[in-house]
Amino acid sequence: MKNHYDEPDFVDVVPGSAGNTRGQIETEIRELCLEQPFAVLATQGEGQPYTNLISYAFSADLRHLVFSTPSQTRKYNLITKNKKISLLIDNRAQQPESINLIRAVTITGLARPLADPEEIDQWAGLLIKRHSYLDKFIKSPSSSLILVDIIRIFYVRRFQEVYQWVPGKPS
Amino acid sequence: MGTRQTFIVPLADAYDYPAELLGNKARNLSLCIKEGFHVPAGFSISSEGYQAYTRYNNLQQRIDLELYRKPFNSMRWEEIWDVALRIRSFFSKGIMPAALEKEIMSYVSRWPSGTKFAVRSSTAAEDSAAASFAGMHESYLNITSDKLIETVKLVWASLWSDRSLLYREEKKLDSRYSAMPVLVQAMEPSTISGLAFSADPSSGQEDVIILEVISGSLDLLVDNIEEPERIKLAKDSGRIFNTAGERKATLMAKNALETLWLKILALEKIFGQPVDIEWTGIEEAFTVLQVRPITGLNSKDDDERTWYLSLTPDKNSLLALTEKVEKDLIPKLIEEVKLFGSEEAFSNDNCLFLDRLEKRGQSYNRWKKIYHDDFIPFAHGIRNFATYYNDLIKPDDPYEFIVLLKTDNLLAQERNKHLKRLGQMLYENRNLQDRVSHFLTGQDRPNSKIFLEEIKTETSEGAIFAAAFEQLLTEQMDLYYENVSLADDPSSLLQAVLALAEGSLKGDEQPKDLSVYKKLKETYLEKAGHKHQNEALNWLRIGRLSWKLRDDDNILLGKLENQLYLYLKEALFRLLKAGLLKDMPEQVTLDNWPVVLESLQKQLEYSPPVPEAPVQEEKTKALKPRQLVGHPSSRGIVTGKARVIHSVADFKNVVAGEILVFDAVQPQITFIIPLAAGIVERRGGMLVHSSIIARELKIPAVNGVSRATELIETGDLLTLNGDLGLVVIGEPEFELEQAGLQLK
């Protein structure tokens, strides 16, 4: 319902400038997830939430994420008991000046330690490619690779604008 | 802390400092002083002073939150104005750091008490060779020392005015890193003033000098109060061109003109390119007020920008426009609406019919242009009043001024009162109410016109109701809106009346609270003081008139358009009957009237334009909005089902208590607002019609939500936060996560 009187085109909004078409949002989520190196991992045990910083790598379709942890850590133990996890990835380090330029995703998913050598090979390769300096840590027999199947991604930008995206879900 | 900051620099030394610190205006004048020109004495408050102020008051973070909550290009000018108003309010209410204030005031104490000052913007971006920013930022003249600090804050705030924000956007300058140095100079008496261009800025001709001269001080010229004398000189000889239309110089003696000519040449030489000079003087003693390179020689500003600037006209052109709109345009518009309405039904005489169609078409074209040229700029009178009010009162709520503008006699309010009376009739007669309700919920409901005829014959109350309803249709709903005439669809109106009767409508738009109004007006006039009483009253008059006009003009023009619509529809019927049109088109396009007229005149075949199908983004379940951001335009929090309004046809499905989601709400259709539990609108701004009504009815509203009608679907559960400007879609749930767990 556009009224031609009140809205001279040039001072009205530029089409597409809100940047909230499906394509624009998905691109922004993809960029953030693939460019950031670190995430906050939230696990839980005995009703107690517990968070860690991890180095991660995403699969290209954003349906899986992989990270590595020594198997005696608290987070490893918690995951083996409860696979429901959440992750936070954000670019606040690049945007300390403006809260409106900070972007973040909150991810929900299911985490499991990988056991199958073929799977381990494939995912370790992806993680080492993203964090080559961690190759020793990742390949260490005391480390375990954790694969997360992503269920949902909540994307936050401009302080309070929120979208939810289910990667790989057919339109 | 690190090295000591430079807050104050004497004007004479300004050229030794970088432009980032003191700006170009100060540096250019300082250079003139060094070269021996007379310049009024003064000092600069550096960009570090600006930064100290903004840091002390956390303004950068506040600006960031206001300005970047939406992408700049996705904000309408009205939203940008709102942002600028809030930022201006932050600046004027901020506290000047004591050290900075002390330094400024101790410098000012060098002048004798009673000295008046000019306080002017001087940024690194303005007055440069690349961009002039002419007229973008504020300058204040004749400021006494007790008002100096407050005035400096306002000049700083003008860095964030809607005009300079739009200008920076157009020039692709990043607002985020802007800072504003300020130049303070003692005012000097003058008997003659003017502008000088050492090349013709309109033609780009570089062998001439253009002078604009007035007697008195320069602000009379800059504010368009006095028409200047225009003189064209040959640059090489200083001789006056006596071309047609150019008057002889009468204000300047020959000697004075020659002195000025030499000074202009000298200044152009110093700056190494054609310059634009503001000067003032007494006889032959000239003072330079400003020098800057002429920007954009041989390039014209596009019309859109000129038009935008005309939207914030100065007081004098606004006063003239007020007279024109009030005494000439609106009476003419009302007269035309009346005349067209009084003409009997379509004439069978084809010639007479065509003549009337043409008259309506021409009238539509004429008023459309007047709307653009006069009404929209006049509607901006509200903004001028708001700025005047806020500078004077410094209220906590920057929208307090609205109280003084409200009137009880808007055409839309008259209509809403009429609707309320009809609702009351149904409320008092249960049988009639049931009858209407039954009609509206009935599966195969007959045409509402037939229904009205029916109830007329049933009871005397029914007859009274039907007559009053028909009166509403013919007198107040004869409005064209978005391709339909509102009178064409009485059932949605009947729905609104029924909802009123059922008590689901909120009350009237509250009548103006006279005691609050009186108190605010008293304070307003008191603050203005005796000396500025007339000025304050004038602004109030302009504000009130433009408030009324911006509502009424839509209604009046809607009536005028309705006349053209009815005639066009009839013309299409006649074409159809004559076999010159295949089918009646779904939409009647007003702008197409000349083609329809010609087809009927010359009996030509007519094929209506095919309406463009809206580009719909493919709907997807994979990506859903969860929380959308807009502007908090009416306070309160509410949860309810969404009803997306794509066209007037959606009105009849509205259930009281739903949250209505609009692209834009015009005064023609505001009668639907009281049915809503909340309002979401794509069009943003604190002064948009729906938000004003929502605030009165205490219905939460969020506007400026980009693509609202595309992203939200009818039936979505919405939670509106009218305090923060948020729209939450759906409930916080983990259904997918629960389901996902079972799958693994």
pLDDT 10s digits, B36-53: 999 999 999 999 999 999
Q: Residue B484 pLDDT more than 50?
A: yes
Q: What does DSSP assign to residue B613? A: P
Please identify among residues 473-502 of chain B the ones whose CB lies closer than 8 Å to any CB of chain A.
482
Spatial distance between the Cα atoms of B165 and B186, rounded to a whole number of angstroms: 29
pLDDT 10s digits, A21-50: 888 899 999 999 999 999 999 999 999 999
Average pLDDT over residues B314-339: 90
Beta partners for A44?
A49
| Residue A2 pLDDT level (bands cut at 50, 70, 90) | very low
- Determine how many CB atoms are found less than 10 A away from the CB of residue B70: 25
- Determine how many CB atoms are found less than 10 A away from the CB of residue B437: 16
Parse chain A into domains and list their residue ranges.
18-162
Contact A147, A123 (CB under 8 A): yes
Q: Residue B221 pLDDT more than 90?
A: no
User: What's the confidence (pLDDT) of residue B619?
Assistant: 63
Q: Which of A78-82, B127-131, B457-461, B529-533 has the highest mean pLDDT?
A: A78-82
User: What's the confidence (pLDDT) of residue B623?
Assistant: 87
- Residue A93, classed as helix, strand or coil, is coil
Q: How many Cβ pairs closer than 8 A exist between chain A and B?
A: 144
Average pLDDT over residues A110-125: 96
**pLDDT averaged over every residue in chain B:** 87
Q: Residue B417 pLDDT more than 90?
A: no
Measure CB to CB from residue B76 to each of A13, A25, A160 and give the nearest one.
A13
| Residue A169 pLDDT level (bands cut at 50, 70, 90) | low
Partner A contacted by B369 (CB < 8 A): no
B208 vs B511 pLDDT, higher one:
B208
Contact A94, A88 (CB under 8 A): no
- Chain B: closest CA distance from residue A171 (Å): 5
Spatial distance between the Cα atoms of B90 and B212, rounded to a whole number of angstroms: 38
| Residue A10 pLDDT level (bands cut at 50, 70, 90) | very low
Burial call B280-314: b when 16+ CB within 10 Å, e when fewer: bbeeeebbbbbbbbbbebeeeeeeeeebbbebbbe
Instruction: Using CA coordinates, name the residue in chain B closest to A168.
Output: B622
- Chain B: closest CA distance from residue A154 (Å): 8
User: What's the confidence (pLDDT) of residue B135?
Assistant: 64
Burial of A67 from C-beta contacts in 10 A (0-12 / 13-18 / 19+): buried
Kindly indicate whether the domain formed by A18-162 is annotated with CATH number 2.70.70.10.
no
Q: Which overall architecture, per CATH, does domain B627-735 show?
A: 3-Layer(bba) Sandwich (3.50)
| Residue B443 pLDDT level (bands cut at 50, 70, 90) | low
- Chain B: closest CA distance from residue A125 (Å): 25
Cβ contacts of B370 on chain A, cutoff 8 Å:
none
Burial call A10-39: b when 16+ CB within 10 Å, e when fewer: ebbbeeeebbbbbeebbebbbebbeebeeb
Average pLDDT over residues B707-726: 95
User: What's the confidence (pLDDT) of residue B447?
Assistant: 79
Q: In chain A, pLDDT over 90 holds for what percent of residues?
A: 79
Cβ contact (<8 Å) for A19 and B71? yes
User: What's the confidence (pLDDT) of residue B27?
Assistant: 94
Measure CB to CB from residue A165 to each of B72, B622, B628 and give the nearest one.
B622
| Residue B304 pLDDT level (bands cut at 50, 70, 90) | low
Cβ contact (<8 Å) for A21 and B617? yes
Q: Which two tokens stand for residue B354?
A: 């065509």
Cβ contact (<8 Å) for A163 and B625? yes
- Chain A: closest CA distance from residue B447 (Å): 25
pLDDT 10s digits, B346-372: 888 889 999 999 999 999 999 999 988
Parse chain B into domains and list their residue ranges.
8-186, 192-297, 310-407+515-564, 411-501, 627-735
User: At the topology level of CATH, where does B192-297 sit?
Assistant: D-amino Acid Aminotransferase; Chain A, domain 1 (3.30.470)
Measure CB to CB from residue A110 to each of B308, B625, B744 and give the nearest one.
B744
Average pLDDT over residues B312-337: 87
Spatial distance between the Cα atoms of B245 and B235, rounded to a whole number of angstroms: 19
Partner A contacted by B663 (CB < 8 A): yes
User: What's the confidence (pLDDT) of residue B215?
Assistant: 86
Side chain identity at residue B521, one-letter code: K
Q: Residue B314 pLDDT more than 50?
A: yes
Q: What region does B579 belong to: left with phi over 0, alpha with psi -120 to 50, or beta?
A: left
Inter-helix orientation angle B47-56/B98-108, to 10°: 140
CA B379 vs CA B54, B318, B634: distances in Å = 32, 10, 22
DSSP B535-591: HHHHHHHHHHHHHHHHHHHHHHHHHHHHHHHHHHHHHHHHHHHTTS-SS--SS--GG
| Residue B256 pLDDT level (bands cut at 50, 70, 90) | confident
Kindly indicate whether the domain formed by B8-186 is annotated with CATH number 3.30.1490.20.
yes
For B429-502, where are the alpha helices, taking DSSP H only? 430-441, 448-458, 460-475, 490-501
Measure CB to CB from residue A161 to each of B75, B368, B629 and give the nearest one.
B629
B714 vs B166 pLDDT, higher one:
B714
Q: Residue B225 pLDDT more than 80?
A: no
Q: In chain B, pLDDT over 90 holds for what percent of residues?
A: 50
Partner A contacted by B707 (CB < 8 A): yes
User: What's the confidence (pLDDT) of residue B319?
Assistant: 86
pLDDT 10s digits, B586-618: 888 899 999 999 999 999 999 988 877 766 666
